[in-house]
Amino acid sequence: MKNNKKLLKKAAAAVLVSTLTVVSLPFSAFAYGEKEVQGDESKVADNTVEFQTWRDNVWWGGENASSDSGKIALTPGADESDLNFAWYSNDKGTPAVMIWKDGQKSEAAVVKGTATEISAENWQGSTYAASNKVCIEDYFEENTQYYYQYTDNYSENGNVEWSAEYSYKTGSSSSFSVILTGDPQIGASGSSSDYSAQDASTARDTYGWNKTVTTAMQIAPDAAFLLSAGDQINQSGATSSDDLKTRESEYAGYFYPEAFRSLPVASTIGNHDTAGVDYTNHFNNPNISDNLGATEAGSDYYFSYGDVLFISLNSNNRNQEEHRQLMNKAVESNPDAKWRVVIFHSDIYGSGEPHADTDAATNRIIFAPLMDEFDVDICLTGHDHTYSRSYMILDGNVIDYDLSSGTVTNPEGTLYITTGSGSGSKYYNLLKYTPYYIAERTNDTVPAFSTIEFTDDSLTLKNYDYNGNTYADSFTINKTSENASVEDVIADAEAKLADTTVEYTEESVDKLKTSLDSLKTIQAAYTTAEDKMIDDITENYGTDNDRIKGYGSIVNNEDKDVLADGSTANRLKQGESSLLDKTIYSQLQQGEVVADAVLPVVSAETLESAKTAVVNAIAGLTVKQDTAAPDSTTGGADGESSPDTGDSMTRIFIFASALVVSLGTVFVILRKREEENC
């Protein structure tokens, strides 16, 4: 079981920083493609025969696919044996799903659900009176083919009008893949025909999105589900009837891909989704009854699939305590999960120019500490419309592992991924400098997606564009049975020292205390001082005293960072947040990159050596012998030998301890980095 990381919040850490050893190690982020966005990349398909034929004959013509905002959508249930369904209907009745194994339709099960009255309409004139939801629990088995039909109005007396048959196939829950997309934002490409039945932007974005999903299914045909990192649609307003009609037309585009009749979608709420209840009406997410982290659109939720715990947070809500409660419930539901995956919309460690060091940095204050506290392996975000992969990050520090092989084993910290555009509807430029935490980034203007493959001992990220070409480097996190975090090791050592039922020799205890103190000193040095802005943001969220508005914007100019030209940046000024002081203002001053900046980079080698020293000292603890006991070489009175003294482990500890002690009182290495102008 993982122990939650409750990082020390010691003011003394700021003092320790002054004693740190500083070395120079320039490095840069690798990139597949960095370019200046010209603003017309989203419209490249307009002049192709393929797009025009599809638009005229399918989307606007024929069955007029653009008019269907009520398509059925599958979402994961609480675990791999469950599956949820949601769809719109023209009339309110008793919704139901009929499900059966391949070849066993005569034994089909019928599961009834609930219908919620709604009043929805799109630009094509389709109207809907009900949002239907059905949850099938404890039914699905691994590696099994199923089929289903659904109805808006089930009756026990027959005469039920069922839909066409659709398929759903389960795989292995111990080894599986998922698809990751971000920001399809249907409708964002913009056109003069917005707010009309023949909106060109919704058409072209749906076309790109469908091509992305289709290619993703060719790359990962057995994917268990799709993770969507938010901004399913573009229309952020939800007050006027025109806004609401536009949102439903854009949802028609989002749910258009035929793959979604068989592929569950685990979405998260983006800033363009959050204003309306239509998100909740279209998706049937599991574990939402506590309504934690909620906005009008919906709340946080979680589910498990095999040995992986997935947590979706609504980053439009800045109440950290509510998100903590949800994450605690999630962990309690699967405490022994080998992998913890969190997805939310805000790119708190991204590299896109509009957000990464402004509104997303505001959300960094709230969400980054939770990733550390709950020992999250990988955090998936969107919002940036550019792809980036971070180094392993712990409490704002890069843990400087050698990643040249594209793998890391038993790492400290969290890997942060920011997705590109899933549809091609909108692209952004990259920041003109490379943030110290970025290992790789690209804004190559082509729709893209990722796959994540999970096994018992590895997590592998792969990246593709919608043509199936490699979009960015692959990356793998490996875990072995020896995996233990700094927090785990410290807790184990402290438990040994506090145990009064066993008496160890003074020498072995002293060695453990010395190595433990060294490791805790390192931890204290890289730990961010208590961040007063966490309580400020959490307590004032949604009130008149909230200094933040929208999706992370700073309300008052006097709270903003002042740049060299006298203008302000949309981020909290230096001195307001200890995490931002560490993760932004160590690299930027007045908006300019600091030459020879001392950045929060921890030597992984030093940290692992100190951790190993404690592990060896624990193994080297020697049980104190009674002076009247027989000599250990001759065995006890009953013929059994005395306890192992652990001498071989002690020798290993002496070597490791000498190495650590030679590095001085504090062992965190902050490294200077030469930044690239992009």
Instruction: Indicate whether 367 belongs to any domain.
Output: yes
| Whether residue 375 has pLDDT greater than 60 | yes
Inter-residue contact 261 to 73 (CB < 8 Å): no
- pLDDT, tens only, 233-291: 999 999 999 999 999 999 999 999 999 999 999 999 999 999 999 999 999 999 999 99
Look at residue 483 in the predicted model and tell me its pLDDT.
86
- pLDDT, tens only, 118-147: 999 999 999 999 999 999 999 999 999 999
Full residue range of the structural domain in which residue 495 is found: 12-26+484-527+600-672
> Do 471 and 489 fall within a single domain?
no
> Do 408 and 514 fall within a single domain?
no
Residue type, 102: D
> Do 497 and 367 fall within a single domain?
no
- Across the chain, what does the average pLDDT equal? 89
Look at residue 626 in the predicted model and tell me its pLDDT.
67
Q: Tokens 């003011």 label which residue?
A: 11
> Do 456 and 328 fall within a single domain?
yes
The residues, ordered by sequence, that sit 6+ positions from 13 with a Cβ below 8 Å of its Cβ are: 524, 525, 526, 527, 528, 529
Instruction: Indicate whether 50 belongs to any domain.
Output: yes
Instruction: Indicate whether 618 belongs to any domain.
Output: yes
- pLDDT, tens only, 585-604: 999 999 999 999 999 999 99
Terminus-to-terminus CA distance in the chain, angstroms? 43
Instruction: Indicate whether 576 belongs to any domain.
Output: no
Give the DSSP H or E segment for 651: helix 647-661
Nearest-angstrom CA–CA distance, 464 and 450: 6
> Do 502 and 411 fall within a single domain?
no
CATH number at residue 59: 3.60.21.10
Domain boundary among 450, 478, 506: 478
Give the DSSP H or E segment for 475: strand 470-478
Confidence category of residue 676, pLDDT binned at 50, 70, 90: very low
> Do 402 and 493 fall within a single domain?
no
Nearest-angstrom CA–CA distance, 190 and 235: 11
| Whether residue 660 has pLDDT greater than 50 | no
> Do 236 and 267 fall within a single domain?
yes
| Whether residue 402 has pLDDT greater than 70 | yes
Closest CA to 44 of 204, 232, 187: 204
The residues, ordered by sequence, that sit 6+ positions from 506 with a Cβ below 8 Å of its Cβ are: none
Instruction: Indicate whether 341 belongs to any domain.
Output: yes
Parallel/antiparallel/unpaired status of strands 470-478 and 407-409:
parallel
| Whether residue 371 has pLDDT greater than 90 | yes
Look at residue 634 in the predicted model and tell me its pLDDT.
41
Instruction: Indicate whether 375 belongs to any domain.
Output: yes
Q: Where are the beta strands (DSSP E) in 152-209?
A: 166-169, 176-181
- pLDDT, tens only, 199-224: 999 999 999 999 999 999 999 999 99
Average pLDDT over residues 138-158: 96
Distances (CA, A) of 168 to 102, 143, 224, 254, 450: 10, 11, 10, 20, 22
Q: Where are the beta strands (DSSP E) in 66-223?
A: 73-76, 83-89, 96-101, 109-112, 114-121, 127-136, 145-151, 166-169, 176-181
Look at residue 62 in the predicted model and tell me its pLDDT.
84
> Do 61 and 183 fall within a single domain?
yes
> Do 505 and 378 fall within a single domain?
no
Number of domains observed in the structure of the chain: 2
- pLDDT, tens only, 94-117: 999 999 999 999 999 999 999 999
Confidence category of residue 468, pLDDT binned at 50, 70, 90: very high
Structure token pair of residue 268: 């998260």
Average pLDDT over residues 39-53: 89
- pLDDT, tens only, 499-532: 999 999 999 999 999 999 999 999 999 999 999 9
> Do 469 and 492 fall within a single domain?
no
Rounded to the nearest 10°, the torsion over CA 28, 401, 346, 417 is 80
Instruction: Indicate whether 57 belongs to any domain.
Output: yes
> Do 363 and 400 fall within a single domain?
yes
Confidence category of residue 14, pLDDT binned at 50, 70, 90: very low
> Do 463 and 329 fall within a single domain?
yes
632 vs 249, which has greater pLDDT?
A: 249
Look at residue 30 in the predicted model and tell me its pLDDT.
52
Instruction: Indicate whether 97 belongs to any domain.
Output: no
Domain boundary among 417, 451, 478: 478
The residues, ordered by sequence, that sit 6+ positions from 476 with a Cβ below 8 Å of its Cβ are: 406, 407, 408, 458, 459, 460, 461
Domain boundary among 440, 458, 478: 478
The residues, ordered by sequence, that sit 6+ positions from 653 with a Cβ below 8 Å of its Cβ are: 511, 515, 613, 616, 617, 620
16 vs 638, which has greater pLDDT?
A: 638
Nearest-angstrom CA–CA distance, 478 and 475: 10
DSSP 8-state secondary structure symbol assigned to residue 65: G
